[in-house]
């Protein structure tokens, strides 16, 4: 089983943009928002994936991701997700020690929401918190994308 260990934080300011090593546009939607098995379809440019995630146990959960044809993913987003799609810009910022911050700037109905995530190799892995990092929201369902797609 693939395991994801991810910490999530609100972002205080947009200073991370100057530090970004890459920027990508993402569209995603959920085929299932069941807490025991969320199923997400995501596109970015000419790539697309389906991701299955198990229930969160703090910062840890199972995660399985598979590439799918972009045309199929776009059709799933249109037919199955409709206006519940999430559109965001992701900025990647080097966190040192082989880690990266992924900062998502949400668009549309979630305009103004900016969330930073860092994936860790172990739950006790230390990491530096840059100045732009605010309050931790790891484990807070209000900030799960699978919940945001419904509001």
Mean pLDDT of the chain: 96
List the catalytic residues: 30
Q: What is the mean pLDDT of residues 65-82?
A: 96
Q: What is the mean pLDDT of residues 2-12?
A: 95
State the Rg of the chain over Cα. Answer: 15
**Residue 1 banded pLDDT, cuts 50, 70, 90:** low
> What does the alpha-carbon distance between residue 91 and residue 4 come to, in Å, rounded to a whole number?
19
Question: Does the domain made of 3-148 have the CATH classification 2.40.320.10?
Answer: yes
- CA 82 → CA 5, 33, 53, 107, 139, distances in Å? 30, 15, 21, 15, 27
Convert the pLDDT of each residue in 84-124 to its tens digit: 999 999 999 999 999 999 999 999 999 999 999 999 999 99
Whether the pTM exceeds 0.75: the reply is: yes
> Are 16 and 93 within 8 A, CB to CB?
yes
Convert the pLDDT of each residue in 15-41 to its tens digit: 999 999 999 999 999 999 998 999 999
Tell me if residue 108 falls in helix, strand or coil.
helix
- CA 90 → CA 2, 17, 68, 100, distances in Å? 23, 10, 20, 12
Domain boundaries, the chain: 3-148
Structure tokens at 9: 């934080």
Where are the extended beta strands (E) located within 12-147? 20-34, 37-44, 47-53, 60-67, 86-96, 99-106, 114-119, 133-136
């Amino acid at each position: 089983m693939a395991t994801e260990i991810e910490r999530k934080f609100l972002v205080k300011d947009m200073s991370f943009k100057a530090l970004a090593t890459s920027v990508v546009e993402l569209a995603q939607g959920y085929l299932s928002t069941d807490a025991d098995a969320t199923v997400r379809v995501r596109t970015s440019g000419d790539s697309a994936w389906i991701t299955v995630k198990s229930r969160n146990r703090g910062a840890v959960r199972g995660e399985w991701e598979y590439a799918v044809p972009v045309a199929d993913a776009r059709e799933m987003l249109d037919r199955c997700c409709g206006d519940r799609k999430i559109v965001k810009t992701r900025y990647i910022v080097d966190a040192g020690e082989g880690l990266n911050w992924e900062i998502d700037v949400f668009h549309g109905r979630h305009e103004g929401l900016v969330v930073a995530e860092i994936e860790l190799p172990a739950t006790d892995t230390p990491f530096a918190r840059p100045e732009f990092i605010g309050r931790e929201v790891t484990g807070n369902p209000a900030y799960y994308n699978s919940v945001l797609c419904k509001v």
